[in-house]
Every structure is written in C-alpha cells, then in structure tokens.
Structure 1
Amino acid sequence: MEPESASQIEDAVDAPRPAATFVSQADREKWIPLQYPVAFDGKVWDRIRIRRISAKELRDFLGALGDGFVMPPVIDCPIEVWDGMDADDQTEVDEAAIEFMPKRLRAAAEALIASGSQPAPAVEREG
C-alpha cells in the first residue's frame, strides 16, 4: 500500500462532511398565504413558509436569544418582510408556526401570543 501524498491528505481534510437529512419531508413545512402581500428586494411575498427545524437550528436560535428578538427559524422570511408585514398576517403566521415549533418553544410562544406582547426590536439571524 502506497502512502498518501500531501495533496491527497489536504483533499481529504477539505472534503465536506456528509450531512444528516430527514428521510421523509412529509408534514415538515406549510405555506401561509398573506392577505396583504409585501414587496422586498425585488420580490413580492404573498405567502410565508413555516417549517420544522433541526436540533442544531434550535440550539443556534436559543443561543442568540440574549441579543434581543431573533426570527424563529420555523418562519422562513427576511426580517425586513416580517417587520413590514400587516399585523393580522403576522398573527396568522405566528399561530400557524406554533404547530411546527419544537415542544420546548410551544408553551412560551403560545403565552407570548396570548398576552399580545410585542417582542424587542428584531435582530437579523445568521443564515
């Protein structure tokens, strides 16, 4: 067996690690239509995708909470769209998103919506 060359070793180090993926995508996302579409950056947002998230996305989200309001990763739109959205459309998205949130977040999200509390000013999430 021949020893590996330096370039072979570098290629192996630089190779991306395989990623785990969900076997089934069924029931992992849902589109919420907006009654009042929003235009942003050349695109009209007439619906918002909500989706289930991975354990890593949950960890990253929980780690960023100390920085103020961070978009929950279950809601898939830019913060500018979120901030510019009609309040009733935002409520519809919030309520639909609860069923896609991990159990750890559901109770807190339901309490926040029920209280009518407004979150702190938004902080753009890394993505």
Structure 2
Amino acid sequence: MGRTLFPALLSGALLLGALGAATAAASTGASPTTRIPAGHGTWSILNYDAQGRRSGILGGSDWRAADWSRLVGAAQKNGPVAAVDTWDMLNLGHADAVQSLRTRARGDWDPGARKGMCPDGRRLAGLAHREGRGLCPTPGLP
C-alpha cells in the first residue's frame, strides 16, 4: 500500500469508526457515547469517543498496531506501472459502443442504428456471431 493512499484510507476510517462504534454500542445495548473496549466491535482504524479522545490502531495499544506498522513501513515499488496488453470488448447489446474519442466527437452519423468502434489506435480483431460483441486488442496482439 502506497503512502499516498493513507490519508484517504484514514479519512474513510474516521467515518467507519464512528459508524462502527455506534453500531457496536447499539448491538450491546450501550448508548452511542459509551466507550467500548478495544477489540469489542471497534474494528475501525481510528476512533474518537464522546470527549474527543482518539483511540485505535495509531494509539499503540491496539492489537493490530504491530502489523499495521509493518504494512505501512514496508518497502515500496517506485516508478511507472508497466503497460500490459489488453483486449477491450465492445458491447452493442443496448446502445452504441463507440469507444473512439475522435469519432464520438463528430456526433452520431446514423441515428437509430447500432454502431461499434474500437478506441483510437486499435482495430477490430474479432466479432461475435450473435449478441453484438467485438474485441479490440492492444496494437501488436493478434
């Protein structure tokens, strides 16, 4: 997990922490402001009680803290993600499947008729006998 994802994960965990605490409180019959001991329905990464005290995985007393620290501190890969060959499917089952941005910018050349076109720089490599499907591979694939 990259360090750039951590703030987004953490902000989502704040919401989930609040929801998790309220759900856990409701299931135990406690009021939502009652502090629930760690490991008892508080699966959030970060949690705040009614007095604003923070608890959770960042506090150090959480049973998941060691594994979390190892996960976010692990060596990471850097650089661009390697490109992979893909096969994009055109599906004309319910509407046009014009994936070419250049062609789509020109507008509908035959209103009412079903049309399909591969993304710019790709060609149609296969067409289904029924169901209006087609395959558009990455250049260089058969």
User: Per the shorter chain, which TM-score range?
Assistant: under 0.3
Structure showing greater radius of gyration is 2
Instruction: Name the TM-score, length of structure 1 as normaliser.
Output: 0.23
By relative contact order (CA 8 Å, sep 6+), the higher-ranking structure is: 1
Instruction: Name the TM-score, length of structure 2 as normaliser.
Output: 0.21
Answer 1 or 2: which has greater helix percent: 1
